[in-house]
Amino acid sequence: MAKQKKYIFVTGGVLSSIGKGITAASLGMLLEQRGIKVTMVKMDPYLNLDPGTMSPFQHGEVFVLDDGTETDLDLGHYQRFTQHAKFNKKNSFTAGRVYEAVLKRERAGGYLGKTVQVIPHVTDQIKDNIKAAVEDADLAIIEVGGTVGDIEGLPFFEAIRQMKHQEGAENVLFAHLTLLPYIATAGELKTKPTQHSVKELREIGIQPDVLICRTDRVIEKDVKEKIGLFCNLPADCVFSARDAESIYDVPLFFAEEGLDDRIAEKLGIWTGRPDLSKWKAMVDVIHHPKKEVKIGIVGKYVDWKDSYKSISESLVHGGVANSARVVPVYIDSEELEKGNLSKLEDVNGILVPGGFGERGIEGKIKAIEYARTEKLPFFGICLGMQLAVIEFARNVAGLDHANSAEFKPGNDQNVIDLMDSQKEVKDLGGTMRLGAYNCLVTHKHNGKNTNAFGAYGKEKISERHRHRFEVSNKFRPRLEESGLVVSGKNVDAEKGVELVEMVELADHPWFLGCQFHPELMSRPLDPHPLFVQFIKASLDSGKKQTRLKGIS
């Protein structure tokens, strides 16, 4: 007989961006550390099939999984906080995906002529999607996007209400995250937003089992008792989600209050105490670093930090591995285009992340030229690598008009171009290289280890991609003759295709560009080696490096 699975549904009220993703990820971390096989799911109520075509200003970064699925950035939090959970396309779905599946089934006659309705057909599809995602796990933590009361979210709330009835109350837990603001003039926490949020949830048939209140302080016992009284649950089921200096503090805060204990008790899960020693040691380094390093992140979405969420977190991970605090300095590439490079003079390393579109490109190229000529550690990711190739082609290899087919189609010196097989594809979505691809790492160049091999320590790796254009093999011989080192490549022997994956410079302290997205693989307890080495090089550069006061 199959083992009964357990489900935790994380919902939110009052306002968006309240922290459901970090809350869900923290619960995943704590329960996984108890030895439970955990998976996590994100359900988004918007009608897009996925966030792949959405602007970073709308939804932050797009997080890509091994199988090429483009997901919400919360999947990044889930991956960073858990160590063993594996994610694929089943772990993220939108209302668009749900309705698409229902309509395809209806067109194929799958409903046998019945009238297709939200209940039961849409809600059944949502439940099917949830169950399909948790096949290999003992416990699933499912985050419901949006806030309670949103009209587009109602089918999701109805579906999870039904699941508690169908799976058994002892197997389903509702954790509701809500706002508990402190009003300074009144000198007290106000519980009314939480009361109204729970009231709205109960009106659609869901009684939360635990309340997690977003606040800037620990909630005192009398406040918990008041919330419990008006929200129809015991005071010991009310917990604080207090503001944290680092997101990696959050699971430790929850553990201090016993949130994971209460959840395990309510779901009838008997486990030992979680071993949080490694996590605590990591957080201790974040709060008490021995060094500090400034990294310039040159991009065009710098006013919306969620656009670079995985990169900023990967820099934190790389800093922890070097006992250092990384101070990100976001630099608008459009400002660099105007010729003011002063902000570049105050950083220890330069990172140019990925992106799409021509806006701000020449500013990024100026930053790369600065890093190359000033011998400042440089890390280019995806588009950042492509622009490093363009800069090198223009200023070193003598290709004065070097560019990318993305920006200058038809240009005769496009060192970045579509592969021949891609040029015949009319649907641009079909030209994307998405998900995990293998890469062969060049061990040595002129008798010395490449920076790539120095980071990975092995010659075969796998990394996640999200891009359309490649380094043109037509110009590769000239670039290599001029000193560009190809230190990573993807080889498809069957198709006879070899693609550039990593480039670097031999006469530079640390200069590396990669076509893939290493930030999608980094975890705080397992930092990505390229970020570790980039931060180490930036610390070693000695350029305006500062030691923290009082730390030897």
Question: Catalytic amino acids?
Answer: 382, 517, 519
CA–CA distance, 262 with 249 (Å, rounded to integer): 19
Ramachandran angles phi, psi of 218, nearest 5°:
-70, 140
Q: Which residues contact 525 (CB under 8 A, 6 or more apart)?
A: 83, 278, 279, 282
CA–CA distance, 348 with 168 (Å, rounded to integer): 56
CA–CA distance, 351 with 388 (Å, rounded to integer): 11
DSSP 8-state code for residue 546 = B
**How do the residues of the chain divide into helix, strand and coil, expressed in percent and rounded to 5?**
40, 25, 35
Q: Tell me how far CA of residue 400 lies from CA of 114, 162, 368, 390, 483, in angstroms.
A: 65, 64, 16, 10, 16
DSSP run (H or E) holding 386: helix 383-395
Q: Tell me how far CA of residue 177 lies from CA of 228, 243, 321, in angstroms.
A: 14, 13, 33
Q: Tell me how far CA of residue 195 lies from CA of 180, 192, 231, 232, in angstroms.
A: 10, 5, 6, 10
CA–CA distance, 490 with 488 (Å, rounded to integer): 7
Neighbours of 532 (CB within 10 A): 19
CA–CA distance, 51 with 55 (Å, rounded to integer): 8
CA–CA distance, 4 with 404 (Å, rounded to integer): 54
Residue 176 has which token pair? 């509701």
Q: Is 3 exposed, middle or buried (0-12, 13-18, 19+ CB in 10 A)?
A: exposed
Residue 48 has which token pair? 């897009």
Q: Which residues contact 409 (CB under 8 A, 6 or more apart)?
A: none
Strands 403-404 and 414-417, by their bridges, are parallel
The torsion region of residue 187 among left (phi > 0), alpha (psi -120 to 50) and beta comes to left
Strands of 90-129, DSSP E:
92-94
